Structure 1
Amino acid sequence: MMQTSTKTALGAGAATLIGSVVGQGLGVVRTARAMNGQIDADLTFLLKNGYLPEVQPCLPLTGARTRSKVAIFLTCWALGSLGIFLLIFLGSVIATAAVSDPEHPVVLSVVGGGVTGLFAGILGGWLPGLILFAVLGTRENMRRAVGVVLEEFREYWEARTEAMHALPQGRDPYVVWNFLATYRLPVDDD
């Protein structure tokens, strides 16, 4: 029989996983729609005027630098450990100040609270670190997924730049239109 805490942990893990996948999908779709919007605007302008407009790209041409998942986890563990250390250490200082036992030195209580907080932080920092890792790891996954779309957009923008220079030299606008239209991503625009 499964304990309630185990069920809760599994439920939280499943909710985090589903949230991660949904967030990642929404980020990719949003970026792909922006890319398709730029392509559609370029293609419409090309058909009307026979050349491409001089505009700025709607998306960055380089994606964000990715981070190592191990480095993210270690950072989260360190932050979780620091949080636990501060809670225990400050609780110890406040309790010592409130009690103010004349036979028990204050410095000894503060040092004891600090050592206890240090060990508790090192050993228990993984739990709040894991919660923080769920958030930061999800953001990193989304950044990587969006980076794939941004790479496609960069390739489109290079092809578009070449087409801008080829059109005044006599390249057929319909051939260019057909070529640039192949860069549209298959995203449901409804």
Structure 2
Amino acid sequence: MDRFKLQLAARLVQALQETTKTPLRPEVASDPHPRPLLALGGPGLPQTLKAPLRTPGFRLVDGAGTLWLEVNPGAPYAALQAFASEGGPVLLLSHTSQDGRLLAPFLQETLREGWFGLHGDLVLGGPEGPVVSLALRESDLRVQPLPENPPSLLARYRREVYLGLGLLALLLLAWFYPKVVRRGKA
């Protein structure tokens, strides 16, 4: 769908809402800074909008710090998140895949009973398996990113190891060179 058709659809929704007490004022946002009501994007958009679920892997932790659930997906997934932002409420549909092909089947499964069939403020679904709904706002649970694995010693001190090996090679070369040159003269 191109931007022009999307703007026409937004104007139509706005015109249909004019007769209600609190009409919607949909806008097509090209930049997420004027906070949109509905946002659709890839893996980087949740981080930009400061959504509750920002990373592919996450943990659900209660107020006391007790771990309730840890999710480290081996496959991409789609997420539908509703959260409050500085500019108002945001409904974010995002995915962790490269091409977003799993969004259509995810939406079809999620909205099978229509918008009124949704429960919670976070809905997750992968390429296979059921769609999972979580109500985080009413509960004590919060989403945390998975802690990063500490890198190996070689990865952490790679520069120092290479510098040390280069210095050792230079010292060995300086120590063996006079002995090799003396043998060659004899």
TM-score by length of 2: 0.25
Higher relative contact order (CA 8 A, sep 6+): 1
TM-score normalized by structure 1? 0.24
Q: From the two aligned structures, give the one with the greater helix fraction.
A: 1
